[in-house]
Amino acid sequence: MTDMNSAPLKGLRIVDFSQFLAGPYATLRLADLGADVIKIERRGKGDLSRYLYVSDVLIDGESTIFHAINRGKRSLSLDLKSETDREKVWELIDGADVVVQNFRPGVIERLGFGPQAVMERNPRIVYGSISGYGSDNDWAALPGQDLLAQARSGVMWLTGAEQHGPVAIGLPVADVLAGAALAQGILALLVRRGMTGEGGVVETSLIEAITDLQFELLSTFLNDGRQTPTRPRNNPAHAYLAAPYGVYQTADGHVAIAMNNLQDLFQCVGLCASLEDLNPFEDRDIIARMLADQLVTKTTRAWLDKMDHAGLWAAPVMDWHELVNSGILQKLGMVGETRRGGESFSTLLSPLRVNGERPAAQGPAPYLCDEPISWSSPTD
């Protein structure tokens, strides 16, 4: 891992009001690059993710979510309605470079730490906000939750086969994408500040991030008379692409087949059917069914050996055991380990490499702490 003394963002100070996932994901990525992140948490309760579980696995009494997304940060628990505690926050903001928040629209302003108030106090601040659906629109007050954003965005309708109902992406993809987008925006404003001295405000939302995920297909829709695509009935993987693009069952698993010359693919798998009268787009489901009936007769490994030899694009559908046991994540250095309270916690590290090394925030997720804290304090 990267020597944090030479980390790109070493010396950068972030006051982080955000909780749970979207905002903390943004500050995690910045912490991995060397930023000092102080989480402002509710006195006595802390970040919601400390006790909101996706499983019953706890590390040192707190959820794996909290440990995964808050490693290397520091904590300060306060009552933001207390004038004394609010002054402690202002003291941190005076020495900070970045403020991040993901409250519902209007909440941070009522607490007194909205972008206008903060930038009047410290004009060099880069202020980052994430909401569910932005502000000043008909959706602004709706709950900003990942699954609900997926449902409203069209991505859930898009996923799956034609004859099935909507399929949710099995990850909090809107949260993570919004966090990544905010981190990108914060870095851009920091670059500008380095050149001009000017701070600024950057905002994104779950709906903007998950809409951007669909930019390729939505652009097609907007420029194609707004015709919605017909999702495949068989072996779906992409609403627009022609056969053989899809996921197919084999004798012992599944294989994903990308864009390939159909004649070459049919020859490889031993299909003798004529393709002269079949259109890869219009007859997508017929072609997919022919392939499906053939591919189920042999194992995944047998088909991949044949396809690899023929130069065709295909891959096994792997579960998490197979991914981790492949060793690729370990070889890339993406799996790390921290310790807190005598317990060890395996975690995924930053997806970036800087000068050939992977930067990572140092230390575990913080305990909820209401002791005085300052920028000169060493990172715990």
Where in the sequence numbering do the catalytic residues fall? 175
Rounded-to-integer distance, Cα 130 and Cα 174, Å: 11
Rounded-to-integer distance, Cα 192 and Cα 300, Å: 51
**Phi and psi of 132, rounded to 5°?**
-75, -45
Rounded-to-integer distance, Cα 377 and Cα 72, Å: 14
